[in-house]
Amino acid sequence: VCFHQINMNVMSANANNKDITNNNYEEYDKTEILISSSKDSTVKLWNLRNQETLQTIADLVHKVTDFQVIGNVLLLGSYDSKIRIYRFQQTFSNEHKIFSYVTLKGNLLRDSNSKIVNMDLSADRKILSVLDNENNIQFFKILTELEIKRRLVYSEMKKNQKQHKREKLLKKDTYKET
Query: Residue-wise pLDDT tens for the chain (178 aa)?
Result: 888 877 655 444 444 444 433 344 444 467 788 899 888 888 999 988 888 888 888 888 888 888 988 888 899 988 887 899 988 876 666 665 556 788 888 888 888 888 888 999 999 989 999 999 899 999 999 888 899 899 999 999 999 999 988 888 777 766 665 5
Q: What is the distance between the alpha carbons of residues 75 and 104, in angstroms, rounded to a whole number?
A: 10
Dihedral of CA atoms 24, 102, 51, 38 in degrees, nearest 10, equals -150
Q: What is the pLDDT of residue 99?
A: 63
Q: What is the pLDDT of residue 29?
A: 63
Of 73, 76, 72, 32, residue with least CA distance to 54: 32
Q: What is the pLDDT of residue 40?
A: 87
Neighbours of 23 (CB within 10 A): 6
Q: What is the pLDDT of residue 8?
A: 57
3-state secondary structure at position 124: coil
